Structure 1
Amino acid sequence: MTIRTLEDLFIHDLSDVYSAEKQIIRALPKMARAATDEKLIAAFNLHLEETRGQIERLDELVENTGGVRIKRMKCHALEGLVEEAQEIIDSVEAGPIRDAGLIGAAQKVEHYEIATYGTLHALAVKLGYKKAAKLLAETLQEEKATDEKLTVIAEQS
């Protein structure tokens, strides 16, 4: 995709995060099954439900923002982060050390999403997409809250 305008960048980043969210939907159940800490398992399962809602929010954003269409693309950054999480699952024995590794892997994903949704929100504001900006701000807050929950779990475990 050639990017020449802020709207092109917005569509590119929106398409990228849509792919990322789809990958997260596939990765979270694997991470929950690999975890042993009950709070961590619950956090992964809760975030899975939130992620489904975030995809619905992205769909709503596209429906309500004239001219914006998501492009089919793969988020390579998320693909790499998911591979890192899988390496932890494959190479670390189940228990507290694996759980710590999974928390770190999940927080890397959250930080990627926070950066992406923050950028998308700023672009939506600049482009005058008020409804899109509101929806993106909601998701951004969820991502920040998830990151904070993971930090609390890490500190308590």
Structure 2
Amino acid sequence: MSLNSLHDLYVEELKDLYSAENQLLKALPRMAKAATAPELKAAFTEHLTVTQKQVERLDQIFEELGVSPKGKKCKAMEGLIEEGKEIMQEDGEDSVIDAALIAAAQRVEHYEMAGYGCVRTFANLLGYEDAVTLLQETLDEEGEADKKLTELAETVINVEAEEADGEEGEEEEEGEVEAAPNAKKSPPKKPAKK
């Protein structure tokens, strides 16, 4: 499709969001499974239900436009999900992995908020009042998801991750004290001659 009008751009951006949401429908169950904190698992599972409703809203908009939602792959969401997969494959402290999952999920939310904000504005300019209402509802939900993830990060997950870091540091310090009597000290390095 060529972009010769704002309407063309509107349809293309809607298709991109449709692809993004459908990719997310597949990724959220994996993210919920990878999360260890019950609150984070619940947040991902809840957002899966919300995302299903968002896809239904997009279906409604496409139906009113008389256009198929298919035909475009959202490469940005594909990349964001790929980054999330990399996190899920990492070894590490559970709370730190959970903090990384939140960071990945928030990047997704911010991408979606930008996309929905644009198409809502396009719909408004084009006079698609019903679509404006539906898109604003989704935009509000994405904002709420982002706020919920921030709150979860600031009050639980990041705090636990930081505590895990502190415990690891204490273990290293204890190990250093024990090893110090047997350690050979290297002579100080001489400054290089100019």
Q: TM-score, normalised by structure 2?
A: 0.78
Structure 1 residue aligned with 2:109: 110
Alignment of 1:89-128 (within 5 A): 89-93=88-92, 95-128=94-127
Give the 4+ runs in structure 1 shifted more than 4 A.
Answer: none
1-structure distance, mates of 2:3, 2:149:
35
2:72 is the alignment partner of 1:73: yes
The number of aligned residues is 156
Residue segments in structure 2 that go unaligned for 5+ positions in a row: 157-194
1-structure distance, mates of 2:101, 2:135:
26
Instruction: Please say if residues 7 and 127 of structure 1, whose CA atoms lie closer than 8 Å, have aligned partners that are also in contact.
Output: yes
Shift of 1:63: 1.7
Q: Give % identity.
A: 50
Supply the AA of the counterpart residue of 2:78: E
2-structure distance, mates of 1:48, 1:42:
10
Shift of 1:69: 3.7
Alignment of 1:51-62 (within 5 A): 51-62=51-62
Shift of 1:84: 0.3
CA RMSD in angstroms comes to 1.1
2:34 is the alignment partner of 1:34: yes
Instruction: Please say if residues 100 and 154 of structure 1, whose CA atoms lie closer than 8 Å, have aligned partners that are also in contact.
Output: yes
2-structure distance, mates of 1:13, 1:139:
15
Shift of 1:138: 0.3
Shift of 1:71: 4.0
Shift of 1:61: 1.2
Pair 1:68–1:128, CA change in 2 (3 A): farther
2-structure distance, mates of 1:135, 1:36:
34
> Alpha-carbon deviations, 1:97-122, whole Å to 9, x = none?
00000000000000000000000000
